[in-house]
Amino acid sequence: MQPRDLSAHEAYVPGRGAEEVARDLGMNPEDLTKLSSNENPHGPSPDAVAAVESGAAEVNVYPKASHTDLTDRIAQKWGIDASQVWVSAGADGAIDYLSRAFLEPGDEILVPEPGFSYYPMSARYHHGEASGYRISKDDDFEQTADGVLSAYDGERIVYVTTPHNPTGSTLPREEIRTIAESLDDHTLLAVDEAYAEYADHPSSVELLEEYDNVAVLRTFSKAYGLAGLRIGYAAVPEAWADAYARVNTPFAANELGCRAALAALDDDEHLERSIETARWAREYYHDHLDVPTWPSGGNFVLCEVGDASAVAAASQERGVIIRDTSSFGLPECVRVSCGTREETKRAVEVLNDVVADLRPEATEL
Ligand SMILES: *Cc1c(COP(=O)(O)O)cnc(C)c1O
């Protein structure tokens, strides 16, 4: 007995967890600063925590009313119809829903390289294939419509990520319009806005009224601090919004997650504090790291360090977990998430020390 041929499938490589690393190194997890998964260093909104606590006694019931309430609340936030909000288990779940709704076996998607690995993974799960467009270090990872369109060859879904993970670069609104207007009729443009709260550009949700070939992905995992509860959504045009009923995994968005997301949406103070900290931290990284960094619209900064795997390992031994971006195709870079002020300063000290110690001149002395 064997599963189907999975040789084209790669396992997702997550940032390592503090407990996991602590166990390996014989350290106390509390002594570790985890800056490898772009999580919210302030934790979840206290209102979301209260919602989880008060909902705990009712998890014997399938999530139905809470899902409807969350859908309505998100629709109200954006001024769109509730049918246009596809709530899912994380934005990853929404990526799967788009794959299910759009891909026939053998269909292709076009994705950024380097880029978020779940786009091609999801396409392959749905018997599709992926090819890439370059976001090039030589151009400081600048994203343009031309860069996407020059690689475009009639794929069924084109993904753009803004702000882009792992580089932090953003794709301006006019470029998004150009792409939407240049694609063939059968191609969907999926705009991944997992980090949009941290950027200062307007959301592409505003484009849904004008274009029926644009979908926007959002998540509660980053700025809202609810990564562990797995809630995200796609905002889609009215023209095909009813496909959700046919592709949605029943009850995939869980009861506590829906309740927590509802509470988080009303806690502006927590959201603003989270955004403020991230904007401060990314500037602090640019100003104080002794290695090249790139401007970031997200809650993380990409740094060029030489041997990323050695730097990430050494930094981890000194208590700061960062993300080696080799699995993104950038083996000379690491991605450091924005922490609290204290965590961010500690990360700068450790990273600067590690890089200095690992310089070839240092070892020759
Ligand atoms: C984190 C992230 C997501 C979604 O994460 P979920 O936790 O599944 O909501 C989507 N796209 C990018 C680029 C991300 O970095």
Q: Which domains are seen in the chain, by residue range?
A: 18-43+268-364 (3.90.1150.10), 46-265 (3.40.640.10)
Q: How far is the CA of 231 from the centre of ligand 1 (A)?
A: 10
pLDDT tens per residue across span 51-74: 999 999 999 999 999 999 999 999
Question: Which atom of ligand 1 is least distant from the CA of 89?
Answer: 8
Cα–Cα nearest to 359, from 293, 322, 314, 301 = 314
Q: Kindly state the tokens that stand for 56.
A: 């705990």
Q: Kindly state the tokens that stand for 35.
A: 């800056």
Mean pLDDT of 133-151: 98
Question: Which atom of ligand 1 is least distant from the CA of 227?
Answer: 7
pLDDT band at 227 (very low <50, low <70, confident <90, very high): very high
Q: What mean pLDDT, rounded, does the chain reach?
A: 96
Tell me the angle at which helices 65-78 and 255-265 cross, rounded to the nearest 10 degrees: 30
pLDDT tens per residue across span 233-267: 999 999 999 999 999 999 999 999 999 999 999 99
Report the alpha-carbon distance of residue 106 to residue 100 in Å, rounded.
Answer: 13
pLDDT tens per residue across span 260-311: 999 999 999 999 999 999 999 999 999 999 999 999 999 999 999 999 999 9
Residues flanking ligand 1, CB < 6 Å: 90-92, 116, 161, 165, 192, 194, 219, 221, 227, 232
- The single-letter DSSP state of residue 61 is S
